Each structure stands twice: as structure tokens, then as C-alpha cells.
Structure 1
Amino acid sequence: MVILTKGQNVSLSRLAPNVQCILIDQGWDRRTAAGVDMDLDEILFMTAADGKVRGDEDLVFYNQPRSACGAIELIGSKEKGEKFTVKLDRIPDAIQRLVVGVTIYDDAVRVRNFGQVRGAYIRIIDPASALELVRFALPEEYSTETAMIFGEIYRRQGEWKLKAVGQGFSGGLRALCGQFGVSVA
């Protein structure tokens, strides 16, 4: 297993040359703030070369758990953990990046931020072998951010790579979605 630090990347294609499907697992220490559970939601943006989604069909999250192309699906449950399954060979050529993030549900009303989240990570698993290929543990330095990009899986010269991002956003879901061309009502 490869362990990344913020800003590093690794070739998934070299770590597992024949892998066609991966699991993207994001996690954190389950906890409460002021006696109320922290409710975090995974989200994945399928972006084109311009860094934007082509439309709402390129967004995968709890309210749309499967991509229109069928390559990505959010599986599992909040109680036991959610993961994205990604069939790399089914991702349309127009999609260059898979941006994996997390938002805090109802962050403004509940007054929550990622400074209250501990032990956050993203890891890539080869489901065929059940081996963890790579892991990135986010630094715990986010005191005002209410949405995060954990990592990006991207194409480069015929390979799939993972970049450890760890970028926070104030403004929650709306700010994160706006970054990738998605309007939130």
C-alpha cells in the first residue's frame, strides 16, 4: 500500500496494472459535536478537460447514487459506510477527472466545520483482491471549511492516477458544487 501526503500523486495503473474496477472509500472517526451526530455526505464530480461537469448527470451523491453512464455508483449505508464503485473502463472519454469530496449536512444551521472532524481519509481498494492500494489521511487543520475535496482520480497518458488534494471550502455544498459548474437550488 502507498501512503500519500497532501499534493502527492500515484499511478493506480502501475499499482494494479489489470484493475478495471476500484472502490473509493472515504472515512472519518464517527463523532458528535454538542451532542449531535456529525452528518457527512460523500460526493463525486465527473469533470471534463475544463474542470467542469457536463451536466447534472455527471454528479454522484446520496440523491443520485449512480452516474448516467453506469460507471460510478455510491453503495453502502451511512451507518456502515458508503463507498463509490468505479468501473474505469466504462468512464466516457470526455471525462478526465473524478473529484471526490465530502460535505457537512446542514452545516450553517448546525454550526459544523471540518475542524470538528478527526481521522479523515480516502483510500482506493482493488475489489477483486480486496487489497488497499493507496491511502491519504487528511491533515486536521481545517477550522472554517464545511466541504472538502479529499482526492482526484485523473487520466494522464493512458494511466489512471490519484492525487491527494485535501482542499477545503467555506460555504458547504453550494461552494463545492459551484467550483465544478453545478447549481444548487
Structure 2
Amino acid sequence: MAVSLSKGQKVDLTKTNPGLSKVIVGLGWDTNKYDGGNDFDLDASIFLLGENGKVASENDFVFYNNTTGGNGSVVHTGDNRTGEGDGDDEQVKISLNDVPSSIQRVTFTITIHDAEARSQNFGQVSNAYVRVLNGDTNEELIRYDLGEDFSIETALVVGELYRHNGEWKFSAIGSGYQGGLAALARDFGLQVG
């Protein structure tokens, strides 16, 4: 039975699931009907953060053009350009035991590709969620439904896995940003052109 989280809640992952070493983080969403005439392309991106809350290099930013990070411990399974259909739209596979010790947090975000040019924002997106599955059994362990709290934002930090006393925990964040992926990347220490 999955633990359902609300914004701001934290939950033990490895402590309550002894022996858990591989997880799949699934992200999903639906787009509402609107008159813009452009397709929506939402993207999941992952930032591998050190103690200082920043990436050490561009290699710690995992997305559709750089699908592997953390010495192969974090793998983005690929871009879904439509968000159509049931189930997860994009997934990330993580081998918890192999995440380099310098990485303290694995942060999951969803952004809207070309949001400004297409006049799109998360007010036009519904049913966004993040869930954590046991990578060996596909059992859903944690689920966080983001709700409809966003209007003008073009990027969301949905949640993060983080280390605490030698165990991994999950935090449901649900923070919205304006400025899309570039704003997020700057906040996490990347130089954006």
C-alpha cells in the first residue's frame, strides 16, 4: 500500500523498506484543453545536489539530452513529448546504493518546454504527480499528487530523495517557479547561457 503524501511531508524510504536498493520515480500529468494551438511538451529533469544544494557540474543535471548521471546511478528513461495515455509519462531509475556519496539530494522537477513562446503554464496542466516504485517489484511505495495549486508557473520542483543518517527519505516539495528550466538550473548552480 503506497504512502500518499501532501505538500511538505517527508517519509522514510529505505528505513521502512529494508533491502530496498533500486527505485523507479514516475512522473505524470495531463494537459487541459486550451486555445493556444501549440502542443504541450512537459519534461522531467533531475538535479543531483551536493551538501551545498548545488550541482557540482553539468553532469549532475539529468534530462532528455543527458539521460545518465551520478556515475550511472540515475537514469532518465527518455522524453515523452505528448503526455498522452495513462500511467507515468516519464520515469527515472535510481540505484540508491550506487549514488556517489557526494550527492546528498536527488531533486525531481517538471518543466514546460518553450513555455513563454507558447504562452503555456501549469495552470493548464492537471493531475500532475510523482510516485516512487520499488525497482525490483514495481510496487508503488510513495505517491504525491500535486493538485491544482499552480497558475502562472512554468516549472515545478515536485520532490526529492535525500540522505538522512545513512538512510534515504523522500520529501514532497511542490514548489512552483516562473522562468522555466533556466530559472531552476540557475538556482541549482548551473551556468545558463
Aligned residue number for residue 173 of structure 1:
181
Mapped contact 2:182–2:192 kept (Cα < 8 A)? yes
Counterpart residue type for residue 62 of structure 2:
V
Q: What is the distance in 1 between the residues matched to 2:155 and 2:65?
A: 17
Q: Answer with 164-173 or 79-88: which moved more.
A: 79-88
Deviation at 1:115, TM superposition (A): 0.9
Mapped contact 2:74–2:92 kept (Cα < 8 A)? yes
Could you list the runs of 5+ residues in structure 2 that have no partner in the other structure? Answer: none
Counterpart residue type for residue 38 of structure 1:
F
2:73 is the alignment partner of 1:49: no
Q: What is the distance in 2 between the residues matched to 1:133 and 1:60?
A: 23
Match of 1:109 among 97, 107, 117: 117
Could you list the runs of 5+ residues in structure 1 that have no partner in the other structure? Answer: none
Deviation at 1:33, TM superposition (A): 3.3
Deviation at 1:77, TM superposition (A): 4.6
TM-score (norm 1): 0.95
Counterpart residue type for residue 4 of structure 1:
L
State the identity as a percent. 39
Mapped contact 2:31–2:124 kept (Cα < 8 A)? no
Decide whether aligned partners of structure 1 residues 37 and 47 sit closer, same or farther in structure 2, where only a CA change above 3 A counts.
same
Q: What is the distance in 1 between the residues matched to 2:100 and 2:135?
A: 21
TM-score (norm 2): 0.91
Deviation at 1:172, TM superposition (A): 0.5
Mapped contact 1:103–1:148 kept (Cα < 8 A)? yes
Segments of 4+ moved more than 6 angstroms: none
Aligned residue number for residue 42 of structure 2:
40
Deviation at 1:32, TM superposition (A): 4.8
